[in-house]
Amino acid sequence: LRIVVPFTPGGASDILARAIAPQLAAALAETVVVENRPGAGGSVAAAEVARAEPDGRTLFMGHVGTLAVNPAVYPKLGYDPAKAFTPVAWVARVPNVLVVPAASPYRTFREFVDGVRARPGAVTFSSGGNGSAAHITMELLKLRARLFMLHIPYRGTAPSVADLLAGQVDSTFTGAPVVLPLVRGGRLRALAVSSVRRIPALPDVPTVAESGYAGFEADQWYGLVAPAGVPAAFVQRCNAEVNRALALPDVAEQLAREGAVPMPTTPQAFGELIRREIPRWAEVVKAGN
């Protein structure tokens, strides 16, 4: 049984897949392999899984970008997220964190916004690719705060953060699991989080909403889907085992340490989330051109 991750190792998708894979392997008495297939904001791997046999041998670690944003970004996507997949399990909700290098002149969110406005087009931000969660989160901030920044897309979150650490780019607004260790180690500075409330892992870091942009919310979400037509019994079994894994103390502790919030629920509820998010992010993509 393989879990296809649409990005390079080290990103939130990869971290979450590898957190639940051992639990799923033990529960199903199967060998579970995590397979990284980056490219085109995750759409390469998503299209491959959409074409896979619905035999319960392939799962896809989908997220807000691949399942809700990409239809608006890529005219010839190769898959319809509302029809090509069967929702299996919502794994986690992951707040995004706006970070800059430790040597950055921006020490607060307000300083960052003022600095970008003072130098329109000069301040850069990285992401894991066009249409990735980091990309659309910053685009939403740009729209709300009326900012003009230069986007530098990479083939995955890990390389985008590596260049941020090297000073090649000025900022990124990406998932907490990737940047939290670097914030704790003093290599990155957290300026704001995308969630409605502050996150326990960063209690002193304000939300964008409380920093003058009421209603701002752009958390990532991650979950497993299978090719459409997969047997219902497999979906129910997999859903139950993922939910059971998310309730285990060591898994819950690992996710909390990464800044992720477990989201055990039904396949139907996860499907409703996907359908709800597609038109929401289509508006952001259109407004951000």
Residue identified by tokens 């359908």 is 275
Q: In whole angstroms, give the CA distance from residue 76 to residue 21.
A: 32
Can you give the pLDDT at residue 255?
87
Burial class (CB in 10 A: 0-12, 13-18, 19+), 213: middle
Task: Look at residue 61 in the predicted model and tell me its pLDDT.
Answer: 97
The whole-number mean pLDDT for each consecutive block of 10 residues of the chain, a chain of 289 residues, reads 92 89 94 92 92 97 93 89 96 96 98 97 93 90 96 91 97 93 97 94 96 95 97 97 94 86 96 95 89
> Residue 89's pLDDT is what?
98
What pLDDT does 130 receive? 82
Phi and psi torsions of 50, nearest 5°? -60, -30
CA distance 182 to 272: 34
pLDDT at 156: 83
Region of 223 please: left (phi>0), alpha (psi -120 to 50) or beta: beta
Residue of 265, 183, 251, 164 whose CA lies nearest to 221: 265
**Helix, strand, coil content of the chain in percent (nearest 5):** 45, 20, 35
